[in-house]
Structure 1
């Protein structure tokens, strides 16, 4: 794989943002349903954490599309789909991350339509996809560092 000047510091910064948001969301996911859903501050904080997490992941994906594929995705979801099509990340993972990008759009543009129960379920069941994304990104970063240092 060719590494056209990946901005490794920027990628690391975004991975840190993702990890911090993951930790926050996992804390809320441990609460029972009604405790979480009745706490408006917790619900809003979880929504914000999802936005930060997904934005950071999309930022990394866009950077990879530009630097590794020399492509500009037309949608946020497409950033992940292109990486999956090109074998940079697992194609099935790319599909699931594309759905998260769509969820981000709902959070940002249509707060009234967000199903907080569904969001809580996603906090409990889907965050492993983001962790898998981080693992795949970390491998690429390590390869780029080896190439740059070797």
Structure 2
């Protein structure tokens, strides 16, 4: 069983595995908040997003959750999607990405995506670390 199997509960049902992976990475409170919409299309939309975005995390393969996390952080920074960058940076403890690795990733983002993308990501990292310190969570 690889890291992905452990995080997705080892499910053979792709949507069930994707749901488990999403909860393992982002936590119950976030997922429950995102899936609480009672609109008729909301459940179908959430299942689609979950199977598409989190199914790739749950599929196993040559990339570990840590590798996937670093890729998502880099891609969301490159696209300027700081709300997603923030969300995935907050999931670092679950994926095994360290603060030092995130700091190094910011240099890669600067080199390949430009200073504005890396500076925006750096602001998010600084805010995340300040919130962590204020709440008494470790590094």
TM-score normalised to structure 2 length: 0.26
Identify the structure with bigger relative contact order (alpha carbons < 8 Å, sequence gap 6+).
1
Higher helix residue share: 1
TM-score normalised to structure 1 length: 0.25
